[in-house]
Amino acid sequence: MESFKHKGKRRKLVELLQEKGIEDERVLNAINQVPRHLFLNSVFEDHAYEDKAFPIAADQTISHPYTVAFQSSLLDLHPGEKVLEIGTGSGYQTAVLVAMGAEVYTIERQKNLVDFSRNMLQKINLEPKYQTYGDGYKGLPSFAPFDKIIVTAGAPSLPTLLVQQLKIGGIAVIPIGEENQKMYTYLRVDERKYEQMEFGAYKFVPMLEKRDDI
Ligand code: SAH
């Protein structure tokens, strides 16, 4: 399941991410700790620690490690913070956030990915606080407010219901755009005001509207 070979490759990946500008020690430690190869189809196992995205079930994609690291850095996460994640996917980003000491609440709209990620996160002992099958556009009002929110699919426009679930002083990291996305952070300044910052260009799978069955 986990070998010295994997550990060595992970260390190299961490060095690469540092070269690409990731400085947050908590992020780098988490990447060094989470076995990404277990979140991929085994045909990609030898490539799991390259900075590449791969297909996962239901036509979805596990993000590049750099993207995971960059979004995690933008969250400016501190242990014990409550984080809402939209788009559990394989569960890899979830595992990184849990390894960083966050209390993670995560939503996914593809049932088979919910099942896969739940099993894997349990197996490697990096379970989120709460994991559900549902529509990410709604967030989780019953668990709000959150210190941080991370969206791992491309939202066509700002999902307003989500940012309303931030604490004052909280940060949301959301890629926004139809075909391609720009990365944005929203700092909630007060009840009504958000401070927006724009980062680089990215390409995510789309954040899809609610399905009729969920
Ligand atoms: N963080 C994931 C990346 C998954 S790709 C990983 O590390 O593997 C984005 C995920 O967002 C997909 O699994 C997709 O099914 C999910 N998604 C898209 N629209 C959604 C929505 N409205 N609510 C919840 N999840 C959504």
Burial tier of 165 (Cβ tally within 10 Å: 0-12, 13-18, 19+): buried
168: number of Cβ within 10 Å: 11
Residue in 3, 63, 117, 142 annotated catalytic: 63
**Position 107 pLDDT exceeds 90:** yes
* CA separation for the pair 117, 172 (Å, rounded): 23
Cβ-contact 80, 192 below 8 angstroms = no
Q: What is the mean pLDDT of residues 54-74?
A: 96
Q: What is the mean pLDDT of residues 4-29?
A: 97
Cβ-contact 186, 163 below 8 angstroms = yes
Give the SS3 label for residue 16: helix
pLDDT tens-digit readout, 125-162? 999 999 999 999 999 999 999 999 999 999 999 999 99
Atom number, ligand 1, closest to the C-alpha of residue 113: 13
Q: What is the mean pLDDT of residues 59-77?
A: 97
* CA separation for the pair 147, 63 (Å, rounded): 23
Per-residue pLDDT band for 212 (boundaries 50, 70, 90) equals: low
Q: Which two tokens stand for residue 199?
A: 């980062």
* CA separation for the pair 74, 159 (Å, rounded): 18
Per-residue pLDDT band for 210 (boundaries 50, 70, 90) equals: low
Question: Which uninterrupted H or E stretch holds 20?
Answer: none
Mean pLDDT of the chain: 96
The yes/no answer on whether domain 4-202 falls in CATH 3.40.50.150 is yes
pLDDT tens-digit readout, 54-63? 999 999 999 9
**Measured from the CB, is residue 105 less than 6 Å from ligand 1?**
no
Cβ-contact 88, 107 below 8 angstroms = yes
List residues bridging with 101 in a β-sheet: none
Model pTM greater than 0.75? yes
**Measured from the CB, is residue 159 less than 6 Å from ligand 1?**
no
**Measured from the CB, is residue 162 less than 6 Å from ligand 1?**
no
Task: Reply yes or no on whether 63 is catalytic.
Answer: yes
pLDDT at 125: 98
pLDDT at 213: 62
Q: Which two tokens stand for residue 86?
A: 């939209």
If you take atom 21 of ligand 1, which residue's CA is the nearest one?
136
Atom number, ligand 1, closest to the C-alpha of residue 110: 15
**Measured from the CB, is residue 137 less than 6 Å from ligand 1?**
yes
If you take atom 14 of ligand 1, which residue's CA is the nearest one?
87
**Measured from the CB, is residue 139 less than 6 Å from ligand 1?**
no
Cα dihedral sign, 13-16-20-24: positive
